[in-house]
Amino acid sequence: MRTLLSQFCESFESVVRPLLDPLNASAQALLEASPNLPGKNVRAELLEVRHQIEALVKKVSEQQAYVLLFGPLKSGKSTLMNALAGTYVSEVSSLPAYPCMVYLSHAPERRFDVTRYSGKAERFTDPSALYMYVNRAHTELADRIRSAESKNEPFDPALHYPEAIRKVDVQIPAGELEQSGAVLVDTPGLYSRMKFGYDRMTKEFRDAASCAIFIVKSDNLFLEQVFEEFEELLGLFSRIFLVVNLDTSKRDLAPDGSLVPSLEQEDPLRIIDAFESLAMSQPLKAAADEGRLRIYPVDLLRAAAHRLGGTDAGEPARGQANFDAFLTDLTEYLNSTDYLVSFLGDSLKRAQTLLDDTDALLQHPQVEALERETEELDNRRQDAQRRRHAVLRLLDREWRTAFDELEDRLAPAIRDRARVVSEQTEKVIDEIVDRWFGADTSLQSLVQDELVPALRAYQENLAAFVRVTLDEEVLAGSAGVLLPTDVAADLYASGIDLGEIGKGCLDRIERSSSLRPIATPLTTAQIPVRRGLLDWILFRSPAKVRARLMGEPLAPSLRMSVESKMRRIGKEGRDAIRRELDLFKGRFFHETVQHVHRHVVGEYAKAAVESLCDALHERDTFLDGQLEEVVGSLMERRKVLAHLATLRTAAAHAGTSVDELIAEYGATEPERLIQPAPAGGLPPRPAGTPSDTIPTPNPEARPMSTPGPVLHPAKSIPGMPVLEGGDTII
Closest-CA residue to 505 (of 437, 403, 405)? 403
- Residue 512 has a pLDDT of 58
Closest-CA residue to 621 (of 633, 611, 613)? 613
Strands 165-172 and 111-116, bridge-based pairing: antiparallel
User: Cβ distance 187 to 721 under 8 Å?
Assistant: no
- Residue 698 has a pLDDT of 53
Q: Domains in the chain: how many in total?
A: 1
pLDDT tens-digit profile of 6-40? 888 899 999 999 999 999 999 999 989 988 888 88
- Residue 366 has a pLDDT of 93
- Residue 93 has a pLDDT of 62
- DSSP annotation of 676 reads B
Reduced 3-state DSSP string for 398-451:
CHHHHHHHHHHHHHHHHHHHHHHHHHHHHHHHHHHHHHHHCCCCCHHHHHHHHH
Closest-CA residue to 328 (of 204, 214, 422, 241)? 241
- Length reported for the chain: 730
Residue 267, in any domain of the structure: no
Q: Which residues contact 525 (CB under 8 A, 6 or more apart)?
A: 543, 546, 553
- Residue 680 has a pLDDT of 57
Residue 580, in any domain of the structure: yes
| pLDDT category of residue 351 using cuts at 50, 70 and 90 | very high
Q: Which of 322-331, 370-379, 486-495 bottoms out in mean pLDDT, i.e. has the lowest?
A: 322-331
Residue 293, in any domain of the structure: no
User: What would the mean pLDDT of 387-405 be, rounded to a whole number?
Assistant: 91
- DSSP annotation of 313 reads G
- Residue 689 has a pLDDT of 47
What proportion of the chain, given as a percentage, has pLDDT over 90? 27
pLDDT tens-digit profile of 677-707? 676 555 555 444 444 556 655 544 444 333 3
Closest-CA residue to 545 (of 563, 533, 561)? 533
Does residue 160 carry a pLDDT above 90? no
Closest-CA residue to 214 (of 176, 192, 181, 185)? 185
How many CB atoms sit inside 10 A of residue 17's CB?
A: 17
d(CA 293, CA 262): 26
Nearest-Å Rg of the Cα atoms of the chain is 53
Does residue 358 carry a pLDDT above 90? yes
Residue 711, in any domain of the structure: no
Does residue 254 carry a pLDDT above 80? no
- The amino acid sitting at 139 is T
- Residue 553 has a pLDDT of 87
| pLDDT category of residue 320 using cuts at 50, 70 and 90 | confident
Q: What is the mean pLDDT of the chain?
A: 82
User: Cβ distance 272 to 294 under 8 Å?
Assistant: no
What separation in angstroms does the CA of 330 have from each of 154, 323, 713?
37, 10, 19
User: What would the mean pLDDT of 561-569 be, rounded to a whole number?
Assistant: 89
Q: Which ranges of 363-398 does DSSP label H, i.e. alpha helix?
A: 365-396
| pLDDT category of residue 64 using cuts at 50, 70 and 90 | confident
- Residue 260 has a pLDDT of 67
Q: Which residues contact 530 (CB under 8 A, 6 or more apart)?
A: 567, 568, 569, 570
- Chain Cα centroid distance, residue 166: 25
- Residue 482 has a pLDDT of 87
Q: Which residues contact 425 (CB under 8 A, 6 or more apart)?
A: 454, 455, 457, 458, 585, 589
Reduced 3-state DSSP string for 2-52:
CEHHHHHHHHHHHHHHHHHHHHHHHHHHHHHCCCCCCCCCHHHHHHHHHHH
- Residue 181 has a pLDDT of 62
Does residue 47 carry a pLDDT above 70? yes
| pLDDT category of residue 728 using cuts at 50, 70 and 90 | very low
Name which residue leads in pLDDT, 80 or 705.
80
pTM to 2 decimal places: 0.67
Residue 146, in any domain of the structure: no
Q: Which of 94-103, 136-145, 151-160 bottoms out in mean pLDDT, i.e. has the lowest?
A: 94-103
- Residue 441 has a pLDDT of 92
Reduced 3-state DSSP string for 650-668:
HHHHHHHHHHHHHHHHCCC
Highest mean pLDDT range out of 187-201, 464-478, 642-656? 642-656
Closest-CA residue to 570 (of 560, 555, 558)? 560
- Residue 679 has a pLDDT of 64
User: What would the mean pLDDT of 77-95 be, rounded to a whole number?
Assistant: 77
Q: In angstroms, how far is the first alpha carbon of the chain from the final one?
A: 22
d(CA 362, CA 371): 11
pLDDT tens-digit profile of 433-481? 999 999 999 999 999 999 999 999 998 898 888 888 888 888 887 888 8
pLDDT tens-digit profile of 110-142? 889 998 887 788 999 888 888 888 888 888 888
| pLDDT category of residue 483 using cuts at 50, 70 and 90 | confident
Residue 316, in any domain of the structure: no
Strands 240-245 and 211-217, bridge-based pairing: parallel
DSSP labels for 73-99?
A: TTSSHHHHHHHHHTS--HHHHTS---S
- The amino acid sitting at 697 is P
- Residue 633 has a pLDDT of 92
- DSSP annotation of 552 reads B
Closest-CA residue to 714 (of 705, 703, 725, 706)? 725
User: Cβ distance 339 to 67 under 8 Å?
Assistant: no
Q: Which of 185-194, 601-610, 678-687 bottoms out in mean pLDDT, i.e. has the lowest?
A: 678-687
d(CA 95, CA 101): 11
- Residue 596 has a pLDDT of 85
Does residue 708 carry a pLDDT above 80? no
| pLDDT category of residue 533 using cuts at 50, 70 and 90 | confident
User: What would the mean pLDDT of 584-589 be, rounded to a whole number?
Assistant: 90
Residue 363, in any domain of the structure: no
- The amino acid sitting at 640 is V
Does residue 231 carry a pLDDT above 80? no
Q: Which of 144-158, 410-424, 708-722 bottoms out in mean pLDDT, i.e. has the lowest?
A: 708-722
Does residue 616 carry a pLDDT above 90? yes
Residue 475, in any domain of the structure: yes
d(CA 215, CA 69): 7
Residue 563's domain comprises 397-639
User: What would the mean pLDDT of 548-562 be, rounded to a whole number?
Assistant: 89
